[in-house]
Amino acid sequence: AKSRHSDLLDDLNPAQREAVTHAGSPLLVVAGAGSGKTRVLTRRIAYLLAERDVHPGQIMAITFTNKAAAEMRERVSDLVGRRANAMWVSTFHSMCVRILRREAKTLEMSSSFSIYDSDDTKRLITLVARDLDIDPKKYAARTLAVHISNLKNELIDPETAVADAGNDLERRVAEVYVEYQRRLNQANAFDFDDLIMRTVELLQRYPDVAEYYRRRFRHVLVDEYQDTNHAQYTLVRELVGTEANEAGIEPAELCVVGDADQSIYAFRGATIRNIEEFERDFPNARTVLLEQNYRSTQTILNAANAVIARNPNRRAKRLWTDSGDGEKIVGYVADNEHDEAAFVAGEIDALADKGEADYSDVAVFYRTNNQSRVFEEIFIRLGLPYKVVGGVRFYERREVRDMLAYLRVLANPEDTVSLRRILNVPKRGIGDRAEAVIATYAERERISFAQALRGAVNGEVPLLNPRSAKAITGFVELMDELGEVVESGAEVADILEAVLERTGYRTELEESEDPQDASRVENLTELVTVAREFTEFTTEVAGPDGELPEIDTADPGVPEPGSLPAFLERVSLVADADSVPSPDGGDDSGEGHDAGVVTLMTVHTAKGLEYPVVFGTGWEDGIFPHMRALGDPTELAEERRLAYVAITRARKRLYVSRSMVRSAWGQPQMNPASRFLDELPADLVDWRRLAPSSSSGGFGSSGGSPRAATTWGSRGGGSSPSRSASTSPFGKGWKDTVALKLDVGDRVSHDKYGLGTVVACDGAGPRATATIDFGAAGKVRLMLIGSVPMVKL
């Protein structure tokens, strides 16, 4: 009989085995996609537990998304059982939240702190900039936010930023940074970048704190190391230590795995320097290279290798597989994005019918989140089961954010951004002027906004009219009442119900005539469900049987399972970046487990995952590669790495498609073929369709589409489109023939109203109108000239 030891090493190749068993010095595993890096990391953890008598509580494993963390925990649980629960397997952000909750006092924060996401951050920066009289036309809040974020990723504190500022922009940024940071502190809040930066500060400034964690975590493992930024790198270094400290504690064992070709977060400050200079940063480090790919067919690997080979300044890698050539890549050129979605849906159905793939084997990738809508529409219409990965959408909805703001204020009354958000929501007669009076009073008295509100109740705030004072009193009483519900130990879902009821928020929506408000009610019901399932899940994990996480239960770094802070923490972290809000409480592990559901996601989210069938959609210059990368070699290289990531997710079948016309920011727009399509070796691709069916010949074909067509201003600014019909590089001819010549009975998709059917056409030329039945959204009559955010299906 085999020992457990050999079981763990059996199905590994020699290089992988070396990485799993290596002990002592820091270890770097660098290798291309699908070569088993994550497998090595997971297996190494199992090996530590089984063969090296390491306690689970001594292990800290860091992944890039919550999804990956859940998957890793599950993989390790499969190998070692419930003991896995005591490990810290988390993202950088979650890990820092845990540490900060425990150590908040040291940083003069309270452990009930709020976590501000990018939207909160922008709101606060807007407030700060306004108070500092900064011209928003010259320095937009978004720009300031990006600069401040960059500073934080480089671990530059406000004082240093002020001292180093060399030009007007930098001075403005530094000035805002100082005040922004002050207000974050005052609000007892951290933004996302703070989570890392302040944890580093904690470890660097307080040696006893650093020592506690150094004693505790004897093994630190990091997946996707190529995507760490400077702050994260420093954090790892501080956690592990580079030499024995004064108390004689040796550095922890460090194991990092990564692939420089998959670095796709440079926009967040990630730097492959961390991989390239690992050996210098950690003297006596050992490096292991893996070369065999176990994921994909040779065809897919060849395609990936050909694309990534175009990037300059990279170390060439040999990546091979013994799994054979497999199917050719299938290419498709669509008329428009709806046609593209229809092709994808049809193909998925065909594969399922022929028994060649289950829905759960299939992933559809796109470059940016907003591209999911078209797929969702068609999948719904065809009854194709799907899920969209990337929770950002749901948690960005206004009503959801409003409710979360209530919960956050209940957990942390000092959270000024949330408090001001809900002050007059639903409307209760506290106007902008009253809010401004309170804010000024708070500022002058150097007290928090919440305290100032209480001041208003006691009549201490001058210039406040009696009507506002009364409204504020009502609000404060309401919050106190809700606070009692929280104090009583109610479940999060019940707290939420109480907020919905007693604020009148739900009633207001229910009584509204606006059809959108009906779906808002649904979203809130969904939020209550999320909260219910959250409680159920947490109770189960902490359940009575089996091995309880010994260290963790006593750890003040962890909010009490099922509590309001725990819920808010979870929500903040799933709403972050690319992670997944899984209603089942975090066990959403990508493939295999969602029987019968197609997965839709951005390429960024797909990092680290694999699917038998992958659809890469929207391969157009201006979409993928992204518009802002077109004139910038550095950004283009990053987009190409993203293409490499996309291709290498596929195990057996890869589809690539592009669309001739796509509506973007409310305008149909023609995009040339992605240059990445041209970089795929021609003999690997079977073009199912090269030219769009409705083309009158002016659209070119896949290979030689006009690149010059991508020169109209930037679309990346998040503002409304600036391109008018007359400046279209295609003239208005194509619009008339393709998009806007409608007949009764035609199906259309409108950006705002959704799918509809033309029921009447009137007028001609510039006066042409169509009356369109959009179902639930009603009948609408639209002009067909100018910027119509609509395409014919």
Nearer to ligand ATP, 559 or 608 (CB): 608
CA 666/CA 663 separation, integer angstroms: 6
CA 789/CA 684 separation, integer angstroms: 37
Looking up tokens 């929770």, which residue turns up? 391
Listed residue (371, 381, 297, 372) closest to 346, CA to CA: 381
CB of 234 to ligand ATP, least distance (A): 24
Note if 752 is an active site residue: no
The active-site residue, picked from 16, 17, 38, 199, is: 38
CA 441/CA 444 separation, integer angstroms: 5
Which residue in 15, 28, 36, 339 binds ligand ATP (CB under 6 A)? 36
Question: CA–CA distance from 761 to each of 236, 697, 721, 767 (Å)?
Answer: 65, 27, 27, 11
The active-site residue, picked from 98, 101, 152, 649, is: 649
Q: Does 35 bind ligand ATP (CB under 6 A)?
A: yes
SS3 assignment, position 174: helix
Residue 767, CA atoms < 13 Å, CB-side half-sphere: 3
Q: Identify the helix (H) or strand (E) that includes residue 689.
A: strand 685-689
Secondary structure, 3-state, 410-458: HHCCCCHHHHHHHCCCCCCCCCHHHHHHHHHHHHHHCCCHHHHHHHHHC
Binding mask of the shown chain, residues 553 to 592, with x at each position contacting ligand ATP by CB under 6 A: ----------------------------------------
Q: Does 158 bind ligand ATP (CB under 6 A)?
A: no
Note if 361 is an active site residue: no
Contacts of 198 (CB under 8 A, 6+ apart): 96, 100, 107, 190
Q: What dihedral angle (degrees, nearest 10) is formed by the CA atoms of 559, 565, 570, 575?
A: -150
Q: Does 33 bind ligand ATP (CB under 6 A)?
A: yes
Query: What is the amino acid identity at position 397?
Result: R
Which residue in 26, 269, 331, 608 binds ligand ATP (CB under 6 A)? 608
Q: Which does 75 bind (CB under 5 to 8 A by kind): ligand ATP, Mg ion, none?
A: none
CB of 649 to ligand ATP, least distance (A): 7
Which residue in 12, 285, 457, 521 binds ligand ATP (CB under 6 A)? 12
- Position with the least CB separation from ligand ATP: 36
CA 617/CA 188 separation, integer angstroms: 43
Listed residue (625, 627, 531) closest to 581, CA to CA: 531
CB of 325 to ligand ATP, least distance (A): 18
Nearer to ligand ATP, 38 or 336 (CB): 38
The active-site residue, picked from 58, 65, 234, 262, is: 262
What b/e string do you get for 221-254 counting C-beta neighbours within 10 Å, with b at 16 or more?
Answer: bbbbbbbbbbbbbbbbbbbbbeeeeeeeeebbbb
Question: CA–CA distance from 15 to each of 19, 290, 466 (Å)?
Answer: 6, 6, 76
φ/ψ of 265, rounded to 5, equals: -125, 30
Q: Does 608 bind Mg ion (CB under 5 A)?
A: yes
CB of 641 to ligand ATP, least distance (A): 11
Binding mask of the shown chain, residues 4 to 43, with x at each position contacting Mg ion by CB under 5 A: ---------------------------------xx-----
Note if 37 is an active site residue: yes
Nearer to ligand ATP, 13 or 737 (CB): 13
Nearer to Mg ion, 236 or 409 (CB): 236
Would you state the structure tokens that stand for residue 690, as one six-digit string?
Answer: 């090269």
Of 8-16, 136-144, 379-387, 578-586: span binding ligand ATP (CB under 6 A): 8-16
CB of 679 to Mg ion, least distance (A): 24
CA 188/CA 341 separation, integer angstroms: 45
Binding mask of the shown chain, residues 649 to 678, with x at each position contacting ligand ATP by CB under 6 A: ------------------------------
CA 710 from centre of chain: 28
Note if 314 is an active site residue: no
Q: Which does 12 bind (CB under 5 to 8 A by kind): ligand ATP, Mg ion, none?
A: ligand ATP
400 within 8 A of 119, measured Cβ to Cβ: no
Q: Does 641 bind ligand ATP (CB under 6 A)?
A: no
Q: Does 228 bind ligand ATP (CB under 6 A)?
A: no
Q: Does 16 bind ligand ATP (CB under 6 A)?
A: yes
Binding mask of the shown chain, residues 239 to 268, with x at each position contacting ligand ATP by CB under 6 A: --------------------x--x------
Q: Does 37 bind ligand ATP (CB under 6 A)?
A: yes
Q: Across the chain, which distance is largest between two alpha carbons, in Å?
A: 86
SS3 assignment, position 2: coil
Note if 218 is an active site residue: no
- Position with the least CB separation from Mg ion: 38
Binding mask of the shown chain, residues 265 to 304, with x at each position contacting ligand ATP by CB under 6 A: -----------------------------xx---------
Which residue in 39, 73, 641, 658 binds ligand ATP (CB under 6 A)? 39
CA 787 from centre of chain: 31
Note if 38 is an active site residue: yes
Interaction site with ligand ATP (CB under 6 A): 11-13, 16, 31, 33-39, 259, 262, 294-295, 608, 610, 648
Residues serving a catalytic function are 37-38, 223-224, 262, 649
Under the rule (CB under 5 A), what is the footprint of Mg ion?
A: 37-38, 608
